[in-house]
Structure 1
Amino acid sequence: RFGLRLRRDWPAPRVAKAPIRTGPMGESRGDHAALLDCANGAPSAAFGEMYDRFDTKGIVPRLPQEPYHMMTRVIDVSTRPGVQEVGAKVRAEYDIPANAWYFEDNRNGAMPFAVLSEIALQPCGWLASHCGFALSGNLKFRNLEGDGVLHRELRPGDGTMVVDSELTAFSRVGPMTIVTFSVVVTLASGEPVLDLTTQFGFFPAAALVRQAGLAAKPHFSA
Structure 2
Amino acid sequence: MAHRPVQARPGYPLQVISADSAADKPSGLVVHSLAKARIVSAAGDLFAEHGVGGTSLQMIADAIGVTKAAVYHQFKTKDEIVVAAVEEELSRLTAVMDAAEAEAGAAVERVPEALLTRIVDLALERHRMEFALAGDPVIGRYFADHEPFRQVVDRLYRLLTGETGPEARIRAAMLTAAIGGAAMHPLVADLDTDTVRDQLLHLGRRFLDLPG
Structure with the largest fraction of helix: 2
Q: TM-score, normalised by structure 2?
A: 0.31
Instruction: Please say which structure displays the higher CA radius of gyration.
Output: 1
- Higher share of residues assigned strand: 1
